[in-house]
Amino acid sequence: MDDIPPYPPIDPTTFDLIVIGTGLPESIIAAASSTASKSVLHLDPNPFYGSHFSSLPLADLPSFLSSHSTSPSPPRSPSSDDPNEFSLLEFATRPLYSSIDISTFSPNLLDQHSRKFNLDVAGPRVFFCADKSIELLLRTGTNQYMEFKSVDATFVGDNKGNLWSVPDSRAAIFKDKSLGLVEKNKLMRFFKLVQGHLAGEQDIKISEEDLQSPFVDFLNKMGLPPKIKSFILYAIAMADYDQEDTGVCRDLLKTKDGIDQLALYNASIGRFQNASGAFLYPIYGQGELSQAFCRRAAVKGCLYVLRMPVTALLVDKDTGCYKGVRLASGQDIFSQKLILDPTFKVTLPSGSSPPLPLKEKLPFFSLKDDKGKIARGICITKTSLKPDISNFLVVYPPRSLFPEQVTSIRLLQIASNLAVCLPGMFVLYISALCNDDDQGKKLIHAVMNTLLTVPLDSESNAAVQSETAENGSAVQDETSESSSGGPSDSGEEKPTLLWSVLYSQELTLGQVDFICSTPMPDGKLNYNDLIDTTFKIFQEIYPGEEFFPETSLENPEGDGDASPET
């Protein structure tokens, strides 16, 4: 960030909105505001799009995490000699990542091909085929800037390395050999009840009392066995916490919300012709989503400047109101509204006595407290966890790996056919909500130790490098056919770890006030909650404007398929 290119002055110098950071919420707001005919300046200190929602080359990911893991330096006293009578409040960066642990077991191979990896900073993430993000892409025409492939299957894992297929249709239930006849009948009756309720059939409608009760109680009332309940709660309804332990459950799922999630899952299956399952994943990684909305904003007139840090906030000395920002180039840019990436905060310098109006407003310039942590892990392997499947999701329900596990752990395997790694390699994304760094690492390590072979010494390290060198870049053809089953039940050896990074990420919800800050990536599998938050921020800054009006449906680059699938 120290080598700032010699940018010419930005012209004009006054905008309706300045957006700092090109993460997903900021990019959607920039696109929506530009569509509403607002003049928007979109800045990012990074040389790439996406910020905390980006997909980065292997060599760049550790440096990005490290640059956002240091404590901020104390801000200096605000300047009072500005000729325009503004107070300058310096931006401080806040540490958003911690406990970063990188392991490399094949340095020669990976160093030579670092740029062929696109690693998601906020993985694992998928799109439900019928969720809000897909609807937003289709409504705005932004799907023209992205390509997707189907995630092939969903599994539930256990501490023995088994991966049990999640039945997602009546046909899948009948074919599932792991379910007994009684289990199949109960599950079929349950799905029939849910489908009848969603279709509005009065004779099998779920009562309001049941809809407001905990979902796990409703499943117990339906007589579903523990295995089926676990599948529904954690692999379809995607509950985060142990739903049967109210002492540790921070988010108890109501039946109404559980049914809505089942409806989303059911509507996603088979929605698009070339997507067999419920989920999609973008080619080149999740960072493509932020870039797509930036392109949409640019088509509507948004001005983009990358590699441009913003150093200070311009505040009116008399009223304490926001006026603009000062760029690292020294230029002052003014706007009516400001959107901030969660990296930044503005604080009152110690020992200074600002004017009373400014002092009264300063608490609103600081981000609110964090709302917990999420542990993330990225692993690169040379073989698939399932020999006959390339791209799939694995869910580890609470208590499935060890007794103290109170949250779900999710794993997403992505292969090279999605252009995220070298041919024949696989990228595993793992995440779990946690209270602290130590708990988070324990959760991620539990999955890694169950599924992977981790070289422990230099001899093993050399063996891995030798084997990968002999096989070349095509370590394994991920499309090759082999016997199905998990690592333990098929007799297959565990995949060998080539590289990994583990880290904890702060969870922030953002805020709306004199200046607005966007949230960090949350712990969910999709973007629904983030899109809801982004919509609320847009409504707050522009209450009279429609969020992507119907007139924005035109295809910005000609006709194309209405499906996000290619």
Q: How far apart are CA 438 and CA 519, in angstroms?
A: 24
What pLDDT does residue 199 have? 86
Alpha-carbon distance of 234 to 248, in angstroms, equals 16
- Between 179 and 147, residue with greater pLDDT: 147
Question: In whole angstroms, what is the distance from residue 566 CA to residue 564 CA?
Answer: 7
Q: Return the CATH superfamily for domain 169-268.
A: Guanine Nucleotide Dissociation Inhibitor, domain 1 (1.10.405.10)
Provide the mean pLDDT of the chain.
85
Rounded distance, CA 216 to CA 255, Å? 8
Q: Give the chain's radius of gyration (CA, Å).
A: 25
User: What tens digit of pLDDT does each residue of 247-259 get?
Assistant: 888 899 999 999 9
Structure tokens at 259: 């049914």
**Mean pLDDT, residues 467-489:** 38
What residues does each domain of the chain span?
A: 169-268
What are the two backbone dihedrals, phi and then psi, of residue 210, each rounded to the nearest 5 degrees? -65, -40
Q: How far is 258 from 221, CA to CA, in rounded Å?
A: 15
Q: Which of 47, 45, 42, 46 is nearest to 32 (CA)?
A: 42
Tell me the per-residue pLDDT of 497-513, one tens digit each, with 9 for 90 and over: 999 999 999 998 877 77
Q: How far is CA 35 from CA 49, 162, 301, 378, in A?
A: 20, 49, 8, 36
Do the strands 332-340 and 373-381 form a parallel or antiparallel pair, or are they unpaired?
unpaired
DSSP 183-198: HHHHHHHHHHHHHHHH
Number of H helices, E strands in the chain: 15, 22
405-414 pLDDT, tens digit per residue, is: 999 999 999 9
Residue with tokens 């505001």: 33
Task: Answer for the pair 539, 547: CB distance below 8 angstroms, yes or no.
Answer: yes
3-state helix, strand, coil in the chain (%, to 5): 30, 25, 45
Contacts of 84 (CB under 8 A, 6+ apart): 314, 332
What are the pLDDT digits (tens) for 325-348?
999 999 999 999 999 999 988 766
Local structure of 226: helix, strand or coil: helix
Residue 433 has what pLDDT? 97
The per-residue DSSP string of 235-304 comes to IIS---B-TT-TTT-SSPPBHHHHHHHHHHHHHHTTSSTT--SSEEEETT-THHHHHHHHHHHHHTT-EE
Pairwise CA distance, residues 151 & 165, whole Å: 13
Q: Which burial class, exposed, middle or buried, applies to 153 when counting CB atoms under 10 A from its CB (0-12, 13-18, 19+)?
A: buried
pLDDT at residue 348, as a whole number:
64
pLDDT class of 482 with cuts at 50, 70, 90: very low
DSSP 8-state class, residue 548 = S
pLDDT at 82: 55
Number of Cβ atoms within 10 Å of the Cβ of 361: 19
Question: Are 538 and 32 within 8 A, CB to CB?
Answer: yes
- Helix pair angle (287-299, 24-35), 10° resolution: 20
Task: Give pLDDT, residue 484.
Answer: 37
For tokens 């988070």, what's the residue?
440
Percent of the chain with pLDDT over 70: 82
Contacts by residues 186-194 (CB-CB < 8 Å, ≥ 24 positions apart) = 186/222, 186/223, 186/224, 186/225, 186/228, 187/224, 187/228, 189/222, 190/219, 190/222, 190/224, 190/228, 190/232, 193/222, 194/259, 194/262, 194/263
Q: Identify whether the C-beta of residue 430 lies closer than 8 Å to the C-beta of residue 125.
A: no
Rounded-to-integer distance, Cα 153 and Cα 94, Å: 38
> Which range has the top average pLDDT, 309-318, 430-439, 505-514?
430-439
Burial of residue 553 (number of CB atoms within 10 Å: 0-12, 13-18, 19+): exposed
